[in-house]
Amino acid sequence: CIEAGALVGVTTHYSRLKDFAASDKQKRFAMGAMLLGEDGRPTYRMRIPSVGDSYGLETADRVMGKSELGARILERARELLGKQERQLSEMLLAAEKQRAELEQLEADVQKKNEAAEERVKEAEAKAQAAEEQLRAAQRDGMREWAKEAKKKERQLED
């Protein structure tokens, strides 16, 4: 199917399938990851290209709560995972956390930039208004000076 140019959408928690897609030298596969919110729930947004953890154990931990049976099941599941798989999962979780922190920092910087731009616009508008007031005062002053000059000229003529 792939050689014929078919488009196929696949979702999996199976790491070997992810490895297969990542190692495809012909780049026939696009990998993506579901983004999770801070509470661990899915946001239903995809990050492409990206590799993500399945978060299966974390989701089970959140859903099953802190019961003794749930804790035993999760511990056994973690034991069944290979050491490399656990390390990869931990690295992916750390990378996802750093990515989320970076996105928050970028959003904060964007807000601060927008606020600074608004303050610059306000300052420019105030400067322009002050300049217009100064020009008006100068015009009024010149008119007053001209009136006084004419008045004195008349007095000299009388």
> Which string of DSSP letters, residue by residue, matches 50-79?
------HHHHHHHHHTT-HHHHHHHHHHHH
Note whether 75 and 65 are within 8 A (CB). no
Q: Residue 100: which residues within 8 A CB-CB, separation 6 or more?
A: 38
> Three-state DSSP class for 115?
helix
Among 8-17, 84-93, 109-118, which is the least confidently predicted range? Answer: 8-17
Q: What is the pLDDT of residue 109?
A: 97
Note whether 33 and 52 are within 8 A (CB). yes
70-99 pLDDT tens trace: 888 888 888 887 777 778 777 877 887 888
Going from N- to C-terminal start, the domains of the chain cover: 99-149
DSSP 19: H
53-76 pLDDT tens trace: 677 777 888 877 678 888 888 888
Note whether 91 and 82 are within 8 A (CB). no
Task: Give the predicted TM-score (pTM) of the model.
Answer: 0.46
Nearest to 64, CA basis, from 53, 51, 76: 76
How many CB atoms neighbour CB 87 within 10 A? 11
